[in-house]
Amino acid sequence: MDQHFLQQVEADVRRALEEDVGSGDLTAALVPAGRTAHATIVCREDAVICGRPWVMETLRQAAPGATVHWHVDEGGRCRANGLVAEVSGSARALLTAERTCLNFLQTLSAVATSTARHVQAVAGTPARILDTRKTIPGLRVAQKYAVRCGGGHNHRMGLHDAILIKENHISAAGGLAAAYAAALQYAERASFIQVEVETLAQLEEALGAGVTMVLLDNMPLEQIRLAVGMAAGRCSLEISGGVSLERLPELAATGVDRISVGALIKDIRAIDLSMRFDGA
């Protein structure tokens, strides 16, 4: 994990604790100051577990000295009612940290679990599953990390690291070829340059302009098949828009290289986890 990632985790946790704890945990103060506790984190449903860096950072900030024994690896699968981790430390501090730990764990495990289902749906095909920028504001690094834990791949992190030329860019720049030519000036700063097309005619124009990465936006299945034949390996093809888990096998079977799915992150349901103290 690089330094930027660790700094982002620290900032995420600090912000979450400030939001939850504020000037102090009034309820935890009811527990004698010197009392210690042992707690277990249990997952109530089948899931891919993700979020360990955020849990560990939460404990570092809110419950220094706490010890954790993980029973499921990061990115590992947990069966319903399975034991995820055991935590020991100051009872007051663990009570304060509990909800923030679980919030990160339930949210990131949900993304990882959703991603794993989508990846499984295209198994045996060349297609890779990618995320989008449809993330919870402030949690993009965390949620894209969770996609990787689920076996998926990241699209661009933001507007700063890659170029995706969409219909509005094409219109404002004076056409597809003009927009792509302008983008090439920033090639050294961008991890990739991709052009979005909505029709086969636009795909032909993109191929003529030398575009090497094309995003097929909301194309019907038969047009996607035709697009794969037209590209004939001259560019990588990605599908976006109208993608569902049920449709993934037939979409992947067309021979496209990438399928980006906003639902990996934006349509998740939190995983059911709980932290219980011994004797509770």
> Environment class of residue 67 by beta-carbon count within 10 Å: exposed (0-12), middle (13-18) or buried (19+)?
exposed
Alpha-helical segments (H) within 122-215: 140-149, 167-173, 176-183, 200-208
Residues 6+ apart with CB under 8 A from 200: 223, 226, 227, 230
The two structure tokens encoding residue 266: 């934006």
Distance CA 195, CA 166 (A): 6
**Parallel, antiparallel or unpaired: strands 163-165 and 193-197:** parallel
State how far Cα 189 lies from the chain centre.
23
**Parallel, antiparallel or unpaired: strands 273-277 and 36-43:** antiparallel
For residue 221, give Cα distances in angstroms to 41, 61, 218, 260.
44, 50, 9, 15
Catalytic residue numbers?
99, 134, 166, 196, 217
Distance CA 112, CA 214 (A): 26
The two structure tokens encoding residue 32: 């004698």
